[in-house]
Amino acid sequence: MTGAYDDRDGKIWMDGTLVDWRDANVHILTHAMHYASSVFEGERCYNGKIFKSLEHSKRLIESGRLLDMEIPYTPEEIDAAKYAVLKANGWTDAYVRVVAWRGAGFDMGVSAARNPVRMAVVAWEWGSYYGDAKWDGAKLDIAKWRRPDPMTIPVAAKAAGLYMICTMSKHAAEAKGCSDALFLDWRGYVAEATGANVFFIKDGEVHTPKADCFLNGLTRQTIIEMLRDKGITVHERRIEPLELASFSECFLTGTAAEVTPVGQIGDITFDVGAMTREIAKDYEALVRA
């Protein structure tokens, strides 16, 4: 499947019905377009099975709750909608995007309690999120924006509005020839990339920022569990930017990113080493098991 995302063949699930791809539209006065009242999940289907599908569905509902937006479907109904989309399009390996939002209704202002909460499920065939960087190592810029204090935003929600600085930071990074950007948090500690969590390796041990002001990714949690099961020490802690040069390897994790090695952050370089490649191989085996 190629071409612009709004001009393709296929089926999209919207509010309980499969509709033609080009007919999956919303009104211009949809509340989410004006006030970012939207949450979403990104998932991957491998060999006909969506990895951690139910966990993603539960997180979608929790994200909606954190935005005071009750999603009118159960996790099981959301799972069924995902598989209906995959079946309708004939895919066994695909990226799946579920999005819920406040639609158009009787309210058009900051308050929108009377507007319906809608949901859609779409999927498409998608290769490596970072292209060749998945094998050669991604190059990261340092974002000028910072992850905000958790007292200012619902950091545990996968909410569309929280990605505004991610889009701006990734555009700036790409303009410099980079694959992505690394955020610091509001205190100045290392946080995450624009759509992936970050890990570092030193002396056979793994270090990753403590998820106290950004989304604790499901892939992040999976990798930590995998590493500890293998007897590898994982430190979840606050990491100072000055420490970056002391690490030998670095990699990103996320549903889209999977496990992607990092070759450079700013002026600091890392080896695309054996431990990172082993972690990537183990993750690939797990999701396709």
* Catalytic residue numbers, as ranges: 158
Tell me if 271 sits within 8 A of 248, measured CB to CB: yes
CA distances from 193 to 28, 32, 104, 167, 209 (A): 31, 24, 33, 11, 11
| Tokens standing for residue 262 | 């990092």
Tell me if 239 sits within 8 A of 209, measured CB to CB: yes
For 16-28, b/e burial (b = at least 16 CB within 10 A) is eebeebeebeeee
**Which residue stretches of the chain are H helix?**
31-35, 53-66, 75-89, 133-136, 164-175, 218-229, 274-287
Tell me if 30 sits within 8 A of 103, measured CB to CB: yes
d(CA 211, CA 194): 14
d(CA 87, CA 110): 38
Strand partners, 236: 208
Amino acid at 41: E
Question: DSSP letter string over 66-99?
Answer: HTT---SS-HHHHHHHHHHHHHHHT-SSEEEEEE
